[in-house]
Amino acid sequence: MPYGCTVTAVNISEEQIKHARESCKGLPVDVVATDYRRISGHYDKIVSVGMFEHVGRKNYRTFMDVVWRSLDKDGIFLLHTIGGNLSWVNCDPWISRYIFPNGMLPSIAQTGRAVEGRFVIEDLHNLGPHYEKTLLCWNDRFQSARGRLPKKYDEVFRRMWEYYFLSCAGAFRARHIQVWQIVMTRTGAKQPPRLRG
C-alpha cells in the first residue's frame, strides 16, 4: 500500500463517484456519496482540490468550519483553488451559464476572512503563472479526442469547451486569475508541515 494511508473521498456527482470507485478498486479508498457539510469523523490530513470554487461565498466560512471540526488537532489542511485578484460576488456570466453553474472564484481576502480565527496559514503558493500551460494541454487533448466523442457532443459543444479552455488560458496568461495552494494547520506547526505520510 503506497504511503501507508487510507483515504476517504467525498463527492456528490454520481458519475465522478462511479469513476473514482472503479479507479480505486483494491486500494484503501472509501468514496462517500455525501455533501461536504455532512462529513463525519476526524482526519490527520484534509485536501480540497478544485472544490472551493463551487461552495459559494456565503458558504466559505461553513466550509472552513467543516474542515476545522474534521481535522485532528495536529492535522494539516491543503486548499487548492483557482482564485481571482479581486473580490467578486459572482462568476463570469458565460462560464456560470455553460460550464460551472453558480461557480465563483474566491479572492485571497475572501478566503482569509473564512480562515480567520480558525487556521494558521503555513504556506501559500501561487501556481497561476504555470496554469496557462495546463489549460492549453487540456485543449490539445480535447481537440485530439474530438473524433472519438459520442454523437451527442456536437460542434456547439466542441466550440463551447474550446472557448472555455482558451479564454481561461488567456486569463491565466494575463494574470487575472490564479491557482493557490494554501497549507493550513489548526494551531500552527511546530515544524514545517509534511504533506506525505
Domain for residue 111, yes or no?
yes
Per the structure, the complete domain to which residue 7 belongs is given by 1-34
Q: Choose among 78, 16, 83, 19: nearest CA to 48.
A: 78
Residues 94 and 18 in one domain: no
Residues 72 and 132 in one domain: yes
Q: Note the pLDDT of residue 152.
A: 84
Residues 14 and 56 in one domain: no
Q: Note the pLDDT of residue 2.
A: 55
Residues 53 and 42 in one domain: yes
Residues 63 and 52 in one domain: yes
Residues 9 and 86 in one domain: no
Residues identified as active-site = 168
Residues 143 and 181 in one domain: yes
Q: 6: which residues sit within 8 A by CB, 6+ positions away?
A: 28, 29, 30
Q: DSSP letter for 21, please.
A: H
CATH number at residue 109: 3.40.50.150
Residues 24 and 44 in one domain: no
Residue-wise over 128-165: b if at least 16 C-beta within 10 A, else e? Answer: beebbeebbebbeeeeeeeeeeeeeeeeeeeeebeebb
Q: Note the pLDDT of residue 1.
A: 45
Kindly give the confidence (pLDDT) of every residue in the chain, 197 residues in length, as a single tens digit, with 9 standing for 90 and above.
Answer: 457 889 999 999 999 999 999 999 999 999 999 999 999 889 999 999 999 999 999 999 999 999 999 999 999 999 999 999 999 888 889 999 999 998 999 999 999 999 999 999 999 999 999 999 999 999 999 999 988 988 888 999 999 999 999 999 999 999 999 999 999 999 887 766 565 55
Residues 19 and 109 in one domain: no
Domain for residue 197, yes or no?
no
> How many domains are there within the chain?
2
Q: Is the pTM of the predicted complex or chain greater than 0.85?
A: yes
Q: Choose among 125, 124, 89: nearest CA to 105.
A: 89
